[in-house]
């Protein structure tokens, strides 16, 4: 009888094939990027891509999935009711937050209250993680760089005075990189000049040494910029301490409450921030979502403030750019941190960097050129594990080498299997 029961369960699992669905906004019908489908008490789930698409697999008939995203009402659906190609529509949420909690506390003070609760809310001990990593750069919708990898990491706890990350690379994939087309002739001229000058001085230099770096992020960098890790450290951009979580900078920022929202079974306090208009340097603007019951940060996202963009390039540099006929427009910048529950605490679940920039060259050049650049880098945590832990991958991550130059050869079958599981977490 035991064997029959086991066979029945095995067959029932196999009978459920992978299903591709899309999470959309119920009102606008637009996809919801990075929405999640949660099951089994939150210990297992799937993360949508930037188009709202999720591939579900390894499900059983009794599973009930919770589809959710910050700012939307959670929808619960039985697995048996989901069909291939379905669109799951989520309605936006707004809650009436407890007035007794909010009214006496200014938004900036509420942020400081949450910061003072980091020691109570985030995992204190060293732990192990598995990750899916992707980075790409597109020029006029053409990929000039695209790398993906699966990694293992051992991280120090959130209360450690010094951050440390031991990484291993399990598998990788790299699209053959192309050269940037923008100002290619002018850049080639500059390369030849540099090489000629180097040879004259007896230096050995190659064209590869002078290539523009197409990779900006890397896994240890993404882990290290988590703003809740060792919260006493400074988050620095362009030699200015612009950290909106540092109370020393709060006088340069405006904080205000947004409408509280639902997230799973919790309500989140929403706090927006932006630099004050009188601050004449590149600062940040964004939103924080804080769990009301614990004061834990669940999500933090920000980009360069619209006011601050005017001060990214100093005045004298703008004049130089005008002389050389260069114009730029920063359309969008985004840094996004999402946190996941881990053994009753919180830890970084994903980080995403994105930027959209337009460049145009005019005057003094033999031909006009325009380019829209899109850069995106993301790293999803697919598994958390406390100690003891042993690495499954042998290849150590080399901090001094671009990740695209150290990706191991991965057989197609193995890569496809890992890729299929890339947006799943346990």
Q: Are residues 222 and 361 in the same domain?
A: yes
What is the predicted pLDDT for the residue at 329? 72
C-alpha triplet 264, 266, 267: angle, nearest 5°: 120
CB atoms within 10 A of CB 184: 11
202 and 247 housed in the same domain: no
Q: Are residues 131 and 59 in the same domain?
A: no
C-beta atoms surrounding 395 within 10 Å: 16
Q: What is the pTM of this model?
A: 0.84
Chosen domain end from 64, 90, 116: 90
Mark which of 48, 69, 90 sits at the end of a domain: 90
- The reply to whether 59 and 154 lie within a common domain is no
- Tokens 């732990």 belong to residue: 127
Q: How far apart are CA 191 and CA 210, in angstroms?
A: 7
The Cα–Cα gap between 191 and 179 comes to 14
Residues 186 and 109 in one domain: no
CATH label of the domain that carries residue 79:
2.60.40.1120
Verify that 233 and 342 share a domain, yes or no: yes
Query: Are 295 and 169 in the same domain?
Result: yes
Last residue of a domain, one of 55, 90, 125: 90
Please check whether residue 293 is in contact with residue 269, taking contact to mean a CB–CB distance below 8 angstroms: no
Q: How many domains does the chain have?
A: 3
Q: Is 238 left (phi over 0), alpha (psi -120 to 50) or beta?
A: left
* Contact yes or no for 295/266 (Cβ under 8 A): no
Is 346 found in the same domain as 286?
A: yes
**Are 263 and 380 contained in the same domain?**
yes
Q: What is the reported pLDDT for 277?
A: 86
Beta strands in 140-239 (DSSP E): 142-155, 165-175, 236-237
Token duo for residue 312: 């990214």
Give the pLDDT of residue 103.
Answer: 52
- Residue range(s) defining the domain that contains residue 186: 180-213
C-alpha span between 39 and 68 (Å, rounded): 11
In this structure, the answer to whether residues 50 and 135 fall within a common structural domain is no
Domain check: are 125 and 16 in the same one? Answer: no
Residues 6+ apart with CB under 8 A from 417: none
Give the neighbor-by-neighbor strand order of the sheet with 75-78. Answer: 75-78, 64-68, 36-39, 44-47, 424-425
Could you read off the pLDDT tens digit of each residue along the chain, which spans 426 residues? 333 333 333 333 333 457 889 999 999 999 999 999 998 677 788 999 989 999 888 888 788 899 999 989 999 998 888 888 899 999 988 766 554 455 578 999 999 999 889 999 999 999 999 999 999 988 888 888 889 999 999 999 998 877 889 999 999 998 876 666 666 666 666 667 777 777 777 777 766 655 666 788 889 989 988 988 866 555 555 455 557 887 777 888 999 999 899 888 888 999 999 999 888 888 889 999 999 999 999 999 999 888 877 776 655 445 555 555 666 677 888 999 999 989 999 999 999 999 888 777 665 555 557 778 889 999 999 999 998 889 988 899 999 888 988 999 899 899 988 888 889 988
CA angle 373, 365, 206 (to 5 degrees): 70
Are 236 and 196 in the same domain? Answer: no
């Amino acid at each position: 009888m035991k064997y029959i029961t086991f066979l029945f369960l095995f067959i029932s699992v196999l009978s459920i094939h992978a299903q591709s669905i899309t999470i959309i906004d119920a009102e606008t019908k637009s996809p919801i990027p990075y929405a999640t489908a949660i099951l089994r008490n939150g210990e297992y789930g799937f993360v949508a891509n930037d188009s709202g698409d999720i591939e579900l697999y390894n499900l059983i008939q009794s599973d009930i999935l919770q589809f959710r995203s910050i700012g939307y009402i959670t929808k619960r659906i039985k697995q048996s009711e989901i069909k291939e190609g379905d669109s799951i529509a989520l309605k936006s949420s707004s809650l009436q937050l407890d007035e007794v909690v909010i009214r006496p506390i200014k938004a900036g003070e509420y942020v400081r209250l949450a910061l003072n609760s980091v020691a109570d809310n985030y995992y204190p001990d060293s732990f192990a993680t598995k990750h899916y990593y992707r980075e790409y750069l597109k020029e006029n919708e053409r990929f000039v760089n695209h790398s993906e990898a699966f990694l293992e990491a051992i991280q120090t706890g959130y209360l450690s005075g010094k951050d440390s990350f031991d990484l291993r690379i399990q598998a990788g994939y790299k699209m053959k990189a192309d050269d940037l087309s923008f100002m290619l002739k002018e850049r080639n001229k500059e390369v030849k000049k540099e090489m000629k000058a180097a040879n004259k001085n007896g230096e050995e230099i190659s064209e590869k040494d002078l290539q523009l770096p197409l990779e900006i992020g890397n896994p240890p960098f993404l882990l290290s910029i988590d703003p809740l890790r060792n919260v006493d450290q400074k988050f620095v951009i362009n030699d200015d301490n612009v950290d909106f979580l540092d109370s020393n900078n709060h006088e340069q920022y405006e904080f205000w409450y947004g409408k509280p929202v639902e997230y799973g079974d919790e309500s989140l306090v929403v706090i927006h921030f932006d630099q004050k208009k009188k601050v004449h340097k590149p600062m940040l603007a964004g939103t924080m979502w804080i769990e009301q019951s614990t004061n834990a940060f669940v999500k933090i996202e920000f980009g360069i403030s619209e006011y601050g963009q005017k001060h990214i390039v100093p005045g004298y540099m703008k004049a130089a750019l005008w002389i050389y006929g260069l114009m730029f427009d920063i359309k969008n910048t985004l840094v996004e941190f999402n946190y996941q529950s881990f053994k009753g605490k919180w830890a970084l679940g994903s980080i995403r960097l994105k930027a959209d920039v337009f460049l145009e060259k005019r005057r003094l050049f033999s031909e006009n050129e325009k380019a829209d650049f899109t850069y995106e880098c993301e790293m999803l945590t697919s598994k958390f594990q406390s100690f003891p832990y042993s690495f499954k991958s042998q290849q150590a991550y080399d901090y001094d080498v671009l990740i695209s130059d150290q990706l191991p050869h991965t057989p197609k079958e193995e890569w496809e299997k890992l890729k299929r599981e890339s947006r799943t977490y346990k």
